[in-house]
């Protein structure tokens, strides 16, 4: 076959495979098609199981003898997998690694060409082609097969390895959305797609219009009920999430447009489709970014109306007999979460999304394990069992009873550990050699406040002010922000509250102020850069912070993504102006402490120049790690390489600590490192005395601190600074946890 046709052939094969209903049919199509494309008598697909054995999942040309499994490393198939390159021989039976599979009639085929299937650096299987004649594949055919296999690996990566008709545990990687482990039955959040509805004649116009008004009333009631359910779990923040839908439902233009389409002879679903499409396009064509973004709201509302019309919106009915629910969808909505009782919601799986998506933020606030961005799961069965491992950012599809039992044991151990750690709530975090470390919590929703106090937080080390912005359909007013921030100071009266100014852009887009046309959003218009360019928003926010803190709140203002002195100067000028304005207006306020987030590596060397313009430094370990390693931790292709214990990260954080100490600047660290027991050993060794983390992780870190002398941690740090591998650093730290009998902290 000509090389120019290989891409066409593969695209054809990929499309045909995607249309098939079952994995068995898909792999059958693959082996039949590859045998035809390459021109061979046999094509066999082997996939690696959890024991590294090669399981024959489908074959074109071999006799079907039932389940076939080649032990790990055995035979030519095992050789190809182990050596990770193609093997092309004329006489397979003469090769010293030949392994005969009884009953397949493989002896009729002399030649053998096997190619490894590699997915993100790991061999997941082997594709084999054979012919009756003792002639190796020509070089062109071998090259074609290698090319095909490089693409086929991505198609078969998520297919179940089958043996004796039973599904073997299939791990699928994504992005950590919310920590924890959940086991339950999947419920798909699929509410139908309005735009696929066809036009049909309307047989009774007045009845259809009456049905339209009844539908409006029904959906309004559903929204009110969903809002009340969610508000009980996430007070204050929920109302704005439903405001857009409610406003659109009351819009006379939409109501009359649907009526007009019905009177023109279209049935209600068709009239609804045409009306929603009309208004969505109107907004999509507007120049204003905020108004243009509203087309998505109209589209979502149309789907909600259509789902309710079909009776598909009653998620509660579908989960009634499910004991533990795993919600699954492109983006699990807030309405879906609100529909499941908190004691039944075991986990969330999203095909799309990142760790900072609305769904992930809400899952964290509710303590529900969530994994984001796993890609579409094909051929979902009703109430299919899943394991959601939010700790590693993976799910397990087709888990057998044994694996479920192992994960349930982890869940039980976690509960027992938390019960044991709860006794430490009111005790200080002091090392055995009397070094005290202040433990603060991260927050962003009012629902986060209670868990922090429950677990003994000594203040808020990172309050993400962008969340009240993200969950609305417009910029909040100054008074609305004062009300939200006031609740935070009330909950943590007498304790420090570190409020980060608006940090949007990149992976945190405001729905009503989308930032488009950025080839690399992570390096674009975000953080302090966005705020300074929209100085009116920053002024309103700073005024709200000052008013909420008053003269009694211990306010610390954190500036995100700082990389230049000009940005710091601009903020300090704005802060002085805000204090002047509020003083003249009669508000009792005082100047807060101001600090910078060390997230952009450029900030580290600038700290000595800024020492007289700031009061403290806060290391944002997540973004700092990401920028130092040039890795997007929300990109599933490279997320496995993201490691906060990379030597470069450890050295740069240690350098930041030394510089801050020399400059007389207070220093704290927030992010995932603050909650990682292995990393905390090194942070204690560096002399960091303030850590901020999610509330649920706080007890185990306090437990570690009370067991580990600071002097010993310093010795371990010194040793780790000589190592050039994150793997070696982890090994040293794991040994130390074993010595302290604290390995349970990292299970």
Secondary structure in 3-state letters for 635-701? CCCCHHHCCCCCHHHHHHHHHHHHHHHHHCCEEEEECHHHHCHHHHHHHHHHCCCEEEECHHHHHHH
Please give the Cα distance from 478 to 236 (Å, whole number): 16
To 10 degrees, the CA torsion angle through 615, 436, 648, 614? 0
Look at residues 682, 691, 657 and name the one whose alpha carbon lies nearest to residue 737.
682
**C-alpha triplet 605, 608, 613: angle, nearest 5°:** 120
- Is 358 assigned a catalytic role? yes
Token readout for 168 is 């073997």
Provide the b/e sequence for 6-33 (b: ≥16 CB within 10 Å). beebbeebeeebeebeebbebbbbbbbb
Write down the H helix ranges in 311-443: 315-319, 334-339, 358-366, 401-421
Which one of 358, 455, 556, 646 is the catalytic residue? 358
Residues counted in the chain: 747
Look at residues 528, 579, 581 and name the one whose alpha carbon lies nearest to residue 549.
579
User: How, if at all, do strands 496-500 and 112-119 pair?
Assistant: unpaired
User: Left (φ > 0), alpha (ψ -120 to 50) or beta: where does 354 sit?
Assistant: beta
Please give the Cα distance from 376 to 398 (Å, whole number): 16
Q: Within 10 Å of residue 223's Cβ, how many Cβ atoms?
A: 19
Which one of 43, 149, 670, 720 is the catalytic residue? 670
Residue 747 exposed, middle or buried by CB count within 10 Å (0-12, 13-18, 19+): exposed
Write down the H helix ranges in 264-374: 268-284, 289-310, 315-319, 334-339, 358-366
Residue 520 vs residues 515, 523, 528, 603, 632: alpha-carbon distances, Å: 11, 6, 17, 20, 11
* Sheet architecture: strand order including 42-48: 69-70, 54-60, 42-48, 122-130, 112-119, 87-89
Helix, strand and coil content of the chain, in percent to the nearest 5, comes to 50, 15, 35
Secondary structure in 3-state letters for 474-515? CCCCHHHHHHHHHHHHHHCCCCEEEEECCCCECCECECCECC
- Strand (E) or helix (H) holding 220: helix 205-233
Instruction: Indicate if the alpha-carbon torsion angle 616, 621, 623, 624 is positive or negative.
Output: positive
Please give the Cα distance from 530 to 469 (Å, whole number): 14
Phi, psi of 528, deg, nearest 5: -65, -25
Q: Quick check: 86 and 113 in contact, CB under 8 A?
A: yes
Q: Within 10 Å of residue 479's Cβ, how many Cβ atoms?
A: 11
Q: Quick check: 447 and 464 in contact, CB under 8 A?
A: no
Q: Quick check: 499 and 556 in contact, CB under 8 A?
A: yes
Residue 746 vs residues 235, 402, 410, 511: alpha-carbon distances, Å: 32, 22, 11, 37
Please give the Cα distance from 178 to 197 (Å, whole number): 36
**What is the set of active-site residues?**
358, 670
């Amino acid at each position: 076959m000509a090389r120019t046709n290989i891409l066409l052939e593969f695209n054809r094969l990929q499309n045909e495979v995607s249309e098939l209903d079952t994995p068995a049919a898909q792999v059958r199509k693959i082996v039949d098609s590859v045998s035809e494309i390459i021109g061979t008598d046999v094509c066999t697909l082997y996939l690696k199981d959890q024991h590294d054995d090669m399981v024959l999942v489908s074959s074109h040309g071999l006799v079907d003898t039932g389940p076939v499994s080649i032990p790990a490393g055995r035979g030519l198939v095992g050789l190809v997998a182990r050596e990770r390159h193609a093997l092309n021989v004329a006489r397979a039976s003469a090769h010293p690694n030949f392994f005969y599979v009884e009953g397949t009639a493989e002896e009729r085929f002399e030649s053998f060409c096997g190619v490894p299937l590699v997915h993100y650096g790991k061999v997941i299987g082997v594709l084999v082609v054979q012919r009756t004649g003792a002639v190796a594949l020509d070089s062109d055919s071998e090259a074609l097969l290698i090319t095909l296999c490089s693409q086929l690996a991505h198609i078969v990566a998520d297919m179940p390895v089958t043996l004796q008709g039973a599904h073997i545990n299939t791990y699928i990687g994504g992005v950590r959305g919310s920590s924890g482990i959940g086991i339950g039955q999947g419920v798909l959040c699929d509410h139908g797609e309005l735009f696929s509805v066809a036009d049909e004649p309307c047989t009774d116009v007045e009845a259809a219009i009456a049905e339209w008004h009844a539908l409006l009333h029904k959906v309004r009631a559903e929204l009110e009920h969903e809002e009340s359910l969610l508000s009980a779990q996430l007070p204050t923040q929920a109302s704005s999430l439903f405001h857009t839908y409610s406003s659109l439902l009351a819009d006379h233009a939409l109501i009359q447009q649907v009526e007009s389409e019905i009177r023109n002879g279209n049935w209600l679903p068709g009239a609804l489709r045409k009306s929603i499409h009309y208004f969505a396009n109107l907004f999509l064509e507007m120049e204003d970014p905020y108004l243009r973004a509203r087309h998505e709201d109209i589209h979502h509302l149309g789907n909600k109306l259509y789902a309710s019309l079909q009776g598909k919106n009653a998620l509660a009915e579908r989960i009634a007999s499910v004991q533990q629910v795993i919600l699954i969808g492109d983006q699990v909505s807030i309405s879906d979460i609100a529909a499941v009782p908190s004691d039944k919601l075991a986990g969330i799986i999203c095909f799309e999304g990142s760790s900072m998506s609305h769904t992930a933020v809400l899952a964290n606030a509710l303590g529900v394990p969530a994994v984001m961005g796993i890609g579409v799961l094909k051929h979902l069965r009703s109430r299919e069992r899943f394991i959601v491992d939010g700790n590693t950012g993976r799910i397990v599809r087709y888990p057998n009873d044994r694996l479920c039992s192992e994960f349930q044991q982890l869940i039980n151990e976690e509960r027992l550990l938390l019960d044991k750690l709860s006794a430490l709530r009111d005790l200080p975090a002091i090392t055995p050699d009397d070094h005290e470390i202040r433990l603060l919590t991260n927050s962003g929703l009012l629902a986060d406040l209670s868990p922090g106090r429950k677990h003994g937080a000594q203040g808020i080390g990172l309050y993400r002010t962008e969340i009240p912005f993200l969950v609305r359909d417009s910029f909040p007013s100054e008074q609305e922000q004062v009300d939200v921030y006031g609740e935070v100071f009330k909950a943590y009266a007498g304790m420090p509250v570190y409020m980060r100014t608006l940090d949007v852009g990149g992976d945190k887009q405001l729905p009503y102020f989308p930032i488009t046309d950025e080839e690399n959003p992570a390096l674009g218009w975000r953080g302090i850069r966005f705020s300074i360019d929209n100085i009116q928003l920053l002024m309103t926010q700073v005024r709200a912070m000052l008013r909420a803190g008053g003269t009694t709140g211990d306010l610390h203002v954190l500036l995100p993504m700082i990389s230049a002195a000009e940005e710091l100067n601009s903020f300090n000028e704005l802060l002085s102006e805000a204090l002047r304005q509020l003083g003249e207006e009669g508000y009792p306020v005082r100047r807060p402490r101001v600090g910078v987030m060390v997230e952009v590596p450029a900030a580290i060397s600038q700290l000595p120049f800024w020492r007289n313009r700031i009061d403290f430094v806060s290391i944002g370990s997540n973004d700092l790690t990401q920028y130092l390693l040039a890795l997007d931790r929300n990109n599933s292709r490279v997320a496995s390489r993201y490691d906060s214990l990379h030597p470069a990260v450890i050295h740069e954080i240690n350098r930041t600590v030394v510089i801050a100490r020399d400059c007389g600047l207070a220093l704290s660290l927030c992010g995932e490192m603050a909650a990682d027991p292995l990393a905390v050993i090194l942070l204690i060794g560096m002399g960091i005395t303030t850590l901020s983390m999610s509330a649920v992780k706080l007890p185990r870190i306090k437990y570690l601190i009370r067991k580990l002398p600071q002097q010993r941690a310093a010795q371990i740090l010194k040793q780790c600074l000589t190592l050039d591998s994150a793997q070696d650093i982890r090994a040293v730290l794991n040994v130390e946890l074993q010595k302290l009998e604290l390995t349970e902290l990292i299970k």
